[in-house]
Structure formats: structure tokens, C-alpha cells
Amino acid sequence: MIDIHCHVIPGVDDGAKTVEQTAEILEQAARAGIRTIIATPHYSGELHRNGTVDRNFELARKEALRYNITFLKGYEIKIRHYPAQMPEDYSDLTLGGSKHLLLELSRDRVPSYTLDLLYDLQLKGFIPIIAHPERCSRLEGNKQLFNDLIDMGCLMQVDAASIIGVNGRGAKRFVKRIITSGNATYVASDAHDPSGYSKWYVKAYKKVQKWIGKQKSDELFMNNAAELVGQNIEAFTH
């Protein structure tokens, strides 16, 4: 399986704090059957610019090699309240060097420039992925906004934890609706600690199989992400 969203790089966000913790998370990931990980720390301009993320990414990559996990870099970028708080150049922030950007909405409010920002990114050739829409209560209440995002061609990445109810009943209900209506493209762990994999990921996979069958759930957990990563591999070979 392929995980496109987790906080496993040590010391750059609220995920793993030390390399030891990174190793623990990766061990559980390998046990859950994950072969490729895109590590997506929360984007912070400062850590990105001064190279901390790159350095610590290398540390984590060495750990991942021990578990035979292909390790790629990405970012989870929060759409902040003011456009000026957003990064200027997104080309280094994509998932594993592909054209996909993982964007996160605030839980309770979606700033009015969001759709313009997404359209602008699309014009520049990026493909926006909305991270865990089910945890954004604003989207659950505002069907129009959710449909607008889908209509624009945003891809939806839902969290494994939400599927089994860790993020609350509302999120579970919403995530079921997103998945069964065919609007989800990826399921990712969003793991901040080992339990993201050991407790939730495999359970979520079984649950989604019950909802939509094996073939479709394989797409969400594997094939769609393989396509994302595969584009990247092609790009490297050229």
C-alpha cells in the first residue's frame, strides 16, 4: 500500500519528535503493508527555507530504507486566513515531485479566497488535493462549497482514522458519505505516531472494503496513489 500523508519526519512538526520515534512509526507502517510513503510535514516557511526539513528528511529516509520503504517528500500546506501567509512558490512543495499539492483547510472556516487560490494553482499546472475534508466542519455544513471543490477538479484525501471514528462521529458520517458517493480519491494515514498505522490503518482498510468492495477500496488505498507516484518516477527517468 502507499501512504501519501503522514508526519513522520523527525522534529519538523507535531509528528515524530526524534529519529527513534520515526523508526517506530516506520516499523508499524511496514507491518501494515506499506511500501511507499510520502512524508508530508506541516508546511512552515522558515523550516523549509533553512533546510531543516531536507536534513531531517534524509535522516528519516535512511530509517525507511531499513524497512524497505520508498520514501518521498511532500508538504501539507494549510490554507491560512490571509493570502499573504501562503507560500509564493509551490513547485518545491509537491507530493514526491509530482504535480499534486496537499492542501489543508482550517477546521472551522474557509477563507473567501480559497477557490481563487485553487484555480490559480490549477492554472499553474498543479493538481490540488484537499487533505481530510471530513474533518473540516465547514465543508460538512456547506454542501455547495464541497461540490464546488469537486467540480473544480480538486481531489479528496480522507484519513484512515476518521473512517473508524477516531475523529468523532460527525467526521465518520461525513467520510462515509464522501467515500460511498465516489468523491474520495485517496485514503491516507495522516499518522502522527505509531498508532496511526498499527491501530487504525488496517482497520480502516477493512471497513472501506465493507462499504465499497475490494476493488474500489484498493484504488483508494493503493492504485490512485501509485499513479501519483508513478508519474513522478516517469518524470525522473526522462
Partner 1 sequence: MSNIINLTNNISEPVEEALRTLRTNIQFCSAEKQIKTICVTSCIPHEGKTMTTINISISIASANKKVVYIDADMRKPRQFKKIASRYNAGLANYLSGMAELDDIVRETNIENLHMIVCGPKPPNPAELLGTSRFLELLEKLKERYDYIIIDTPPLGSMIDAAIIAAAADGTIMLVKYNTIDYRKALKVKEQLEKANARIMGVVLNKIPKKDYGDYYYYDYNYHYGHSSKKYGSTRGSARNNSKDSARESAD
Shortest reach from residue 121's CB to partner 1, in Å: 9
- Asked if 123 is part of the footprint of partner 1 (rule: CB under 8 A), the reply reads yes
Task: Tell me the Cα Rg of the chain.
Answer: 17
- Asked if 142 is part of the footprint of partner 1 (rule: CB under 8 A), the reply reads no
Shortest reach from residue 99's CB to partner 1, in Å: 7
Q: Which residue in 19, 110, 127, 212 binds partner 1 (CB under 8 A)? A: 127
Close Cβ partners of 150 (under 8 Å, ≥ 6 residues apart): 156, 183
Site track for partner 1 across 172-211, x = CB under 8 A: -----------x----------------------------
Closest CA to 139 of 181, 164, 110: 110
Among 59-67, 86-94, 112-120, 209-217, which window interacts with partner 1 (CB under 8 A)? 112-120
Report how far apart, in Å, the C-alpha atoms of 202 and of each of 34, 126, 225, 232 are: 10, 30, 17, 26
Q: Which residue in 81, 152, 211, 214 binds partner 1 (CB under 8 A)? A: 152
Q: Are 75 and 102 in contact (CB under 8 A)?
A: yes
Q: Are 132 and 156 in contact (CB under 8 A)?
A: no
Provide the b/e sequence for 7-25 (b: ≥16 CB within 10 Å): bbbbbbbebbeebebbbbb
Q: CB-wise, 183 or 195, nearer to partner 1? A: 183
Q: CB-wise, 125 or 210, nearer to partner 1? A: 125
- Asked if 125 is part of the footprint of partner 1 (rule: CB under 8 A), the reply reads yes
- Asked if 235 is part of the footprint of partner 1 (rule: CB under 8 A), the reply reads no
Q: Which residue in 51, 141, 153, 213 binds partner 1 (CB under 8 A)? A: 153
- Asked if 124 is part of the footprint of partner 1 (rule: CB under 8 A), the reply reads yes
Q: What is the helix (H) or strand (E) element at residue 128, kind and residue range?
A: strand 127-131
- Bridge partner list, 91: none
Binding footprint of partner 1 on the chain (CB under 8 A): 99, 115-116, 119, 122-125, 127, 147, 150-153, 183
